[in-house]
Amino acid sequence: MKNLICILSLLSLCAPRAAQSQQVFEREKRDYTWLLGYGGFAGPPFGGMRLDFNTSPPSLGLDLREMGFEATNGSICSSAGQLLLYTNGIYIAGGNHEPIENGTGINPGPWAEQWAYNGLPIIQGALWLPAPGHEASRYHLFHETRVEEAEPNPYGYTQTVRELYCTTVELTDAHPEGEVVEKNVAVIRDTLDYGKITAVRHANGRDWWVVAPEYFSNGYYRLLVGRDTVANLGKQVIGDSIPSGVGQAVFSPDGAKYIRYNVVYLGLDQYLDIFDFDRCTATLSNPRHIIFRDTSLYAGVVVSENSRFLYVSSNRYVYQYDLEAPDIEASRQLVATYDGFTSPTIYQTRFHQAQLAPNGKAYIAAPTTTDYVHVIHQPNQKGPACNLEQHAIQLPRLNKRTMPNYPYYGLGPADGTPCDSLGIDNPPPQAMFSYVAGSASIAFYDGSLYSPTSWHWEFGDGSSSDSRHPEHAYAAPGAYQACLTVSNSSGQDMYCTLIELLVSGAGEAPGRGAGLLRAYPNPAVSIAYIGYQLDVDGIIQLLDINGRLQALLPAPAAEQQARLDVSGLAPGLYWVRLVGPAGTAGIVKLAVAR
């Protein structure tokens, strides 16, 4: 008889650190294969799709499979990004798209039977996690269904959630696609909010916390997913009691914030709750309760990878909140208003469920059956600079309001805390930043990975800052090399980029002016051709990524093309700058490969 894997017990939250070998945390690719699509084998325009982040840019194509998604969409990949398991709340399929052994009959009851063809319509109604200590072979699925109540709630709804289930799958030699070894184990028995199942990694770098809100309440259940155990830590009551409705819950990528968003009824209050979260103890604190009214029946939330900006999808609008602002509610900015686009025919591409992707972008599904999704290209940046592109990606098949539900897999241990007890260390951070030029200064946005704890900026004009997201005003036009050095207990890393100021007090990002200048082939191996547009003679400069001059070429106005020999250059990224009589006319990036 197999040992019970989903166990209801209380565990010690932190254990003394024992003598053991050190292990370096790695960002696994558990969320690199996204499954979308409505209608399964119904035929065009219905069917399955796959958005694959194992390539850059991500590839999008058809995915021949039976399972479609109504809203419940949970999947997990191997550490290398290969699809392993997925579900729509009705059954579990493996990477070969066939039901796995004992994988039917999850979510018992008539409601699941009613939705058997399309999948359950519960947003965040399923979440996969690798089993700590058995990450290559064992996986936990947290999932729920609904039941019909005899009496409606104050808003007229008669359906509630009564249990949160845990189902465990093992991959073995006998069942390489997976076998369910424990099914529908009730890890929480209470009336729960609709969906909103989300998780964050424990401060020890291995285990997980799952949070499930109580129905029409200010109670939050916490589960500790540890080695061979799932422990119910009970309910924490905190903040204001709120109604339950359509919505989403999410942790910030740094694990420091838990956010829950509920839309109950069209034209009534919408509820946005933000808490601080302790990854050692799963304690919620410092509640911020934001209420506003909108014409919404659809809702979603997502947080930028640098954990600074919260995005709220509210049907016709998308709002941005600054989570580092002294008054988060007052920081709200409108970053998108639905533009009226429909496809196919009458189906409106408004804003609904959202998910942060491995490439750092945020994707937003429409609430209707449509063939487009929206993309926030620069979610780490403030206001309109986040660059939310409506109907950015056309899908080859229809998708009905679904996005896969993933935790953030890039968060490791909280080094140096009492719960850093398993000998797992973060790697040295990976420095990265972006910037936006304003009328008087440039705003810099840290986007570094792997939990840096300190930041140091050199702006290229003798000025510096130790803020995480500084603003800086340059005194004069010119080219400045801006560098960010980030550090943690494992090491440090530096990233530099060239900032081109074409007019005093305003910045021009590298790549602008690209209509006047292009480099091809790109990447180049031995020879690159530089195409340009000038009315009078100029010059072409080749700079390394740190702004040092590597080559200088004439740019005669009569030729509009120059030949650049890169065979003697080290592989990497370079800047190509076109200079005319009035100064810099354009700058583009060139990659040199071997």
pLDDT at 40: 65
- HEC string of 229-289 equals EEEEEEEEECCCCCCCCEEEEEECCCCCEEEEEEECCCCCEEEEEEEEEECCCCEEEEEEE
CA atoms of 578 and 586, how far apart (whole Å)? 5
159-170 and 147-148 strand pairing: antiparallel
Asked if 28-400 and 514-592 have one fold, the answer is no
pLDDT digits (tens, 9 = 90+) for 149-168: 878 877 677 888 999 999 99
pLDDT at 41: 65
pLDDT at 502: 59
pLDDT at 561: 85
CA atoms of 569 and 565, how far apart (whole Å)? 9
pLDDT at 19: 42
Is it true that domain 28-400 has CATH number 2.130.10.10?
A: yes
Q: What are phi and psi of 136, to 5 degrees?
A: -85, -15
pLDDT at 14: 42
Which residues, given as ranges, of the chain have pLDDT below 70?
Answer: 1-21, 40-42, 155, 502-516
CA atoms of 486 and 281, how far apart (whole Å)? 28
DSSP string across 416-472: TSTT--SSEEPPPPB--EEEEE-SS-EEEEE--BS---EEEEE-SSS-EE--SS-EE
Contact 277, 260 (CB under 8 A): no
3-state DSSP call for residue 572?
Answer: strand
In angstroms, how far is CA 3 from the centroid of its own chain?
Answer: 35
What does pTM read for this prediction? 0.84
Residue type, 305: E
Q: Please tell me the CATH code under which domain 425-508 is placed.
A: 2.60.40.10
Q: What are phi and psi of 578, to 5 degrees?
A: -100, 125
CA distances from 467 to 124, 320, 458, 496 (A): 36, 22, 11, 16
| Surface-to-core class of residue 576, CB atoms within 10 Å of its CB (0-12 exposed, 13-18 middle, 19+ buried) | buried
pLDDT at 292: 93
Which has the closest alpha carbon to 433: 406, 452, 411, 414? 452
Which has the closest alpha carbon to 176: 213, 215, 212, 137? 137
pLDDT at 522: 82
Q: Residue 522's CB: how many other CB atoms inside 10 A?
A: 15
The domain defined by 514-592 folds into Immunoglobulin-like (2.60.40)
424-425 and 23-24 strand pairing: parallel
CA atoms of 114 and 392, how far apart (whole Å)? 34
CA atoms of 578 and 536, how far apart (whole Å)? 12
Q: Residue 531's CB: how many other CB atoms inside 10 A?
A: 14
pLDDT at 506: 34
Say which DSSP state 4 is in.
Answer: P
CA atoms of 575 and 594, how far apart (whole Å)? 18
3-state DSSP call for residue 23?
Answer: strand
pLDDT at 516: 65
Contact 584, 576 (CB under 8 A): no
Spans of all domains in the chain: 28-400, 425-508, 514-592
pLDDT at 512: 37
CA atoms of 468 and 364, how far apart (whole Å)? 27
Task: Indicate the helix (H) or strand (E) that contains 494.
Answer: strand 491-503
pLDDT at 21: 59
CA dihedral 529, 531, 534, 537 (to 10 degrees): 10
